[in-house]
Amino acid sequence: MTPAELREAYRQVTDRIGEAAARSGRSAEDIVLVAVTKYATVDQIQQLLELGHTDLGESRVQQLTQRVAQIDEFLARKRTLANAAPKSKDLMPEQVRWHMIGHLQRNKVKQVVPLVSLIHSVDSLRLAEELHNYAARHDLTIDILLQVNASGEGQKNGVACPAAFHLAEQIDTMVHLRLRGLMTMAAQSDNPEDARGAFARTAEIFKDIRDAKIGGPTLNVLSMGMSHDFEVAIEEGANVVRVGSALFGEKPADDA
Ligand SMILES: *Cc1c(COP(=O)(O)O)cnc(C)c1O
């Protein structure tokens, strides 16, 4: 994939986000695109940042750790260059926001928390407690989403729909965690319409939690939709979408 192809893919994804947002009475600025970098090269990530992109997502701890270090170094280098020769048209963000979107084991909490702005994948009371203990020890507040299993698939991570409300209530009592909203993944399917039911169910739980004033005014994140279904997700109320292959290409065959 050439830089021009990546730029074009980025433009297409952001255009489609804008159109889907318009269909749900919102605008492109209301939707955050998290570029999922798990199958991207470091060059591709750097090119995306040069286009002004700020939000990046990783699903595995080891890769997150590597990527954060690589990108930090790249940004530091860029800043040094920019200070030496300022360019008015530089779109590069000062800082990127990393999102942890994959399953998080409790023994990896201390590695992940310092690196990320938002953890999308809190799916148990025990993980929430571990995060809360860590945050209390370091006098932090950690932004999290509760991951809901709205597609009902046995093997998927996420708390079952009927349990989500109660877990949200429990997390709401943990003063060092800030519950920002919900995340879900739809079942794999060739037809994006198949995802609509799971997204609508998650949006409904989100509304129930908000109506109950759980989380307060900062409960405002609904993370739903990936490359194949982000438009349907936005139509159903998502304001964060997590897109990998539509930006960077399909995953390499040897990684299947
Ligand atoms: C890989 C991944 C994505 C992005 O998937 P694509 O289909 O490549 O867009 C989004 N969310 C999670 C949790 C993922 O693991």
Query: Is residue 36 lining ligand 1, measured as CB closer than 6 Å?
Result: yes
Query: Is residue 31 lining ligand 1, measured as CB closer than 6 Å?
Result: no
| pLDDT tens across the length of the chain (256 residues) | 899 999 999 999 999 999 999 999 999 999 999 999 999 999 999 999 999 999 999 999 999 999 999 999 999 998 888 888 776 567 888 889 999 999 999 999 999 999 999 999 999 999 999 999 999 999 999 999 999 999 877 657 899 999 999 999 999 999 999 999 999 999 989 999 999 999 999 999 999 999 999 999 999 999 999 999 999 999 999 999 999 999 999 876 655 4
Strands 32-36 and 240-243, by their bridges, are parallel
Query: Is residue 184 lining ligand 1, measured as CB closer than 6 Å?
Result: no
CA 213 to ligand 1 center in whole angstroms = 30
Q: Does domain 3-248 have CATH number 3.20.20.10?
A: yes
Give the ranges where 149-229 is alpha helix by DSSP (H). Answer: 161-172, 196-211
CB 144 within 8 A of CB 136: no
Strands 159-160 and 97-100, by their bridges, are unpaired
pLDDT score of 250 = 85
Show me where the domains of the chain are located.
Answer: 3-248
Among candidates 69, 67, 77, 170, which has minimal Cα distance to 128? 170
Nearby residues of 90 by Cβ (< 8 Å), 6 or more positions away: 82
What's the token pair of residue 89?
């048209």
Query: Is residue 227 lining ligand 1, measured as CB closer than 6 Å?
Result: yes
Query: Is residue 240 lining ligand 1, measured as CB closer than 6 Å?
Result: no
What's the token pair of residue 5?
């192809």
CA 70 to ligand 1 center in whole angstroms = 21
pLDDT score of 242 = 98
- d(Cα 3, Cα 59) in Å, to the nearest integer? 24
pLDDT score of 256 = 44
Query: Is residue 156 lining ligand 1, measured as CB closer than 6 Å?
Result: no
Among candidates 88, 101, 89, which has minimal Cα distance to 38? 101
Query: Is residue 242 lining ligand 1, measured as CB closer than 6 Å?
Result: yes
pLDDT score of 42 = 95
pLDDT score of 155 = 59
Mutate to test the pocket of ligand 1, among 1, 12, 36 (most ligand atoms within 8 A of CB): 36
CA 37 to ligand 1 center in whole angstroms = 9
